Amino acid sequence: MAAAGAKQGKLKTPIAPPPPPSSMRSQSLTLARCLSSAAARAPVSAARPLQHLFPTAAMSATGADAFERVITGNKSYARRSAQSEPQLWQTLAQGQSPEVLWFGCGDSRVPETTICDCKPGDMFVHRNIANVIVPGDLSSESIIDFAVGAVKVKRIVLCGHTQCGGAINALNDNDLGPALNAWLQPLRDLRRRHQHEIDQIDSVDRKALRLAELNVRQGVETIRANATVRKAMAERGVSVHGVIFDISSGELRVLGDQTQAVPAGLWQHR
């Protein structure tokens, strides 16, 4: 859904993107070095399996191959959408004008367009493990530059969720391998800064939820500090919102003093 197209007449996506300029490559390498250095300094326990990431039973009992279900499901969806909204895909083929940039976790239980009842073209989406947003991350900053600077989204949403495997595994310093150790290092650092508060919480799930909330709040501040976002906030009222998705209820909870889960008037087609 977050296809790399741009508004018609505004910005076209090259078929083969050029390599990033040397300054951006240097920035990415600097971040990687910082994360690797921080991970090396942190105490790491013996390797253990990832916690709370996998269901105990298969989610599907159809017996069909997972990839076959993907292809079959797409054909079914294409037929239904052609009947219910015959102009949808022809319109989207002309360009995109999403109103929301959504940062979320890669967890399969938090499909943003489904839980927000959105259509294709409504959201520009970026997801990673535990919805971690840190200064200098080339991936998230390039998304911001494109979605905010070029596509001109109106709202930015950072969504964490309950039962987040990344947050659960950031509650300790178990060795998860080089990539996950480095990626979760900012979340583990955040946990250490709030260790006393988290230690007072009585269950792993609630500890992880509190860490997920702190992570969203920190990420919102990081997004607001981005130069492209600051400019858009000053010039056209772009706003940044932090939310938590409750997997057990299917509902979003807005963090902070905001009073509505979704700003009024966002979905113009409703």
Binding residues: 105, 107, 161, 164
**Which amino acids are annotated as binding site for Zn(2+), given as ranges?**
105, 107, 161, 164
User: Is 152 strand, coil or helix?
Assistant: coil
DSSP state of 245: E
Q: Which residue is listed with tokens 């509190």?
A: 210
Between CA 148 and CA 99 the distance in angstroms is 10
* Unique residue bearing structure tokens 């010039």: 235
